[in-house]
């Protein structure tokens, strides 16, 4: 029987096509909002950057960039992330921990006061993807309130009661805002050092000191005298150094700590505000000193403005506690609730209160936008020459 097997020809030019899958991954923030890096609420400052992949599982390199949503997704400056890799379907640092960021003023946060949203973009191989939901960096408002005053001359703790009321008013002014986070730090001004006070300003939008203030003599370190038993028109006017015959010039201060013990205390003044080892960062938009004499002369606020704070507000006179309390409440209720903390409205709020409070407190505003009773600061001069 004849062999019926046939030879089969095999194509000599077979082509095999392999389709490379693009990376498939999802970037997202670990939380909906943060406040900037600070020492008061450190558990609310860290935003982790989570990236989970379907494909690929591992790559030796991955990149993350933080973006401003409100500025056409431009890169946020001063964000320094370590080298990243894709390992076991997650983007991690070389120590296998998740990358994260803590926002600071150098990141240009709040350059637009009402633009608070940030994304991040991840690149794996040649594929880039951005977060679908933005992270909000809330405006951070801090009140340093001295609630420790239990002077024997005030057995009913009148100072302490007023300060507690001021704390409540401050927190209520920002309550209910989804864009703001306010915190009142209760402290003992007598035992708190300058640096422990100064660090609380870190990366703040607003910083408020609520406590005692004093006008000190630059020459002998004694307090200046003021009228306290007088009608409203004269109450609290500062006069001269309390040391007989002394001709030293005045210096406005916060009554924090002290270089010397009574009867010649010397408190926190402009030289300390200018010192970055004591005050690493001053508040971005507003410093408000709810105390006696913070604005009696300009050196204290010159120091804040010279460090970059946009506005400073305080009183020229020695103040009654109820007046200081009511002024601060009116100011923050109007600025926060009506104007949503728009820094450009600070002069308008200030001007709106002058008719009521000019005689009693002599409020004064320092900054670059000016209204009734405001001082134009000459910031071209040497800050060192002010002290």
Task: State whether 262 and 230 are in the same domain.
Answer: yes
User: Is residue 260 included in any domain, yes or no?
Assistant: yes
pLDDT value, residue 231: 87
pLDDT value, residue 16: 60
Task: State whether 257 and 183 are in the same domain.
Answer: yes
User: Is residue 11 included in any domain, yes or no?
Assistant: no
Map tokens 């028109």 to a residue: 233
Task: State whether 258 and 337 are in the same domain.
Answer: yes
Domain containing residue 91: CATH number: 2.60.40
Task: State whether 333 and 374 are in the same domain.
Answer: yes
Task: State whether 122 and 164 are in the same domain.
Answer: no
Task: State whether 62 and 160 are in the same domain.
Answer: no
By percentage, how much of the chain surpasses pLDDT 70? 88
**What is the residue-wise DSSP string for 294-324?**
TTSSSHHHHHHHHHT-SEEEEESS---HHHH
Task: State whether 217 and 307 are in the same domain.
Answer: yes
Would the pTM count as exceeding 0.85? yes
Domain containing residue 311 = 139-386
Map tokens 């991040």 to a residue: 120
pLDDT value, residue 3: 55
Task: State whether 180 and 240 are in the same domain.
Answer: yes
Query: pLDDT of the chain along its 387 residues, tens only?
Result: 555 555 555 555 666 656 668 999 999 999 999 999 999 999 999 999 999 999 999 999 999 999 999 999 999 999 999 999 999 999 999 999 999 999 999 999 999 999 999 999 999 999 999 999 999 999 999 999 998 876 655 556 788 889 999 999 999 999 999 999 999 999 999 899 999 999 999 999 999 999 999 999 999 988 899 888 888 888 999 989 999 999 999 999 999 987 777 677 789 999 999 999 999 999 999 999 999 999 999 999 999 999 999 999 999 999 999 999 999 999 999 999 999 999 999 999 999 999 999 999 999 999 864 443 445 443 333 333 333
pLDDT value, residue 58: 96
User: Is residue 308 included in any domain, yes or no?
Assistant: yes
Domain containing residue 186: CATH number: 3.40.50
User: Is residue 258 included in any domain, yes or no?
Assistant: yes
**What is the residue-wise DSSP string for 226-291?**
E--SS-TTTTT-EEEESSTT--PPEEEEE--S-SS-TTS---B-HHHHT-TTT-S---SSEEEEES
Task: State whether 126 and 58 are in the same domain.
Answer: yes
pLDDT value, residue 373: 41
CB atoms within 10 A of CB 262: 7
3 state SS of 87 = strand
End-of-domain residue from the set 121, 137, 153: 137
pLDDT value, residue 15: 65
Domain count, the chain: 2
pLDDT value, residue 200: 98
Task: State whether 102 and 230 are in the same domain.
Answer: no
End-of-domain residue from the set 137, 158, 189: 137
């Amino acid at each position: 029987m004849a062999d019926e097997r046939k030879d089969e020809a095999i194509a000599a030019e077979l082509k095999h096509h392999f389709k490379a899958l693009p990376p498939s991954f999802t970037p997202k923030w670990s939380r909906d909002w943060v406040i900037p890096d600070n020492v008061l609420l450190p558990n609310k400052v860290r935003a982790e950057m989570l990236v989970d992949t379907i494909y690929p599982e591992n790559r030796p390199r991955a990149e993350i960039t933080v973006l401003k949503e409100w500025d056409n997704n431009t890169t946020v400056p001063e964000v320094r992330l370590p080298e990243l890799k894709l390992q076991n379907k997650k983007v991690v640092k070389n120590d296998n921990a998740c990358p994260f960021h803590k926002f600071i003023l150098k990141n240009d946060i709040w350059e637009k006061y009402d633009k608070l949203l940030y994304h991040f973009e991840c690149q794996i191989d040649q594929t880039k993807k951005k977060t679908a939901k933005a992270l909000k960096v809330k405006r951070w408002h801090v009140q340093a309130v001295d609630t420790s005053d239990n002077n024997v001359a005030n057995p009913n703790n009148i100072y302490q009661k007023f300060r507690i009321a001021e704390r409540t008013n401050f927190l209520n002014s920002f309550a209910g805002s989804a864009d703001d986070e306010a915190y009142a730090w209760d402290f003992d001004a007598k035992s708190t050092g300058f640096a422990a006070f100064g660090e609380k300003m870190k990366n703040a939008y607003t910083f408020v000191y609520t406590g005692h203030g004093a006008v000190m003599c630059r020459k002998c370190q004694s307090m200046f005298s003021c009228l306290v038993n007088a009608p409203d028109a004269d109450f609290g006017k500062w006069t001269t150094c309390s040391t007989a015959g002394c001709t030293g010039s005045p210096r406005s201060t916060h009554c924090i700590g002290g270089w010397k013990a009574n009867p010649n205390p010397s408190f926190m003044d402009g030289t300390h505000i200018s010192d970055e080892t004591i005050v690493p960062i001053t508040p971005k938009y507003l410093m408000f000193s709810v105390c006696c004499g913070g604005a009696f002369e300009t050196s204290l606020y010159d120091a804040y403005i010279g460090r970059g704070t946009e506005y400073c507000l305080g009183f020229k006179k020695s103040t009654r506690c109820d007046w200081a309390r009511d002024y601060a409440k009116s100011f923050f209720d109007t600025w926060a609730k009506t104007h949503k903390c728009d820094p450009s409205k600070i002069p308008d709020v200030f001007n709106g209160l002058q008719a009521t409070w000019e005689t009693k407190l002599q409020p004064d505003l320092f900054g670059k936008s000016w209204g009734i009773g405001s001082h134009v600061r000459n910031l071209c001069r040497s800050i060192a020459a002010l002290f």
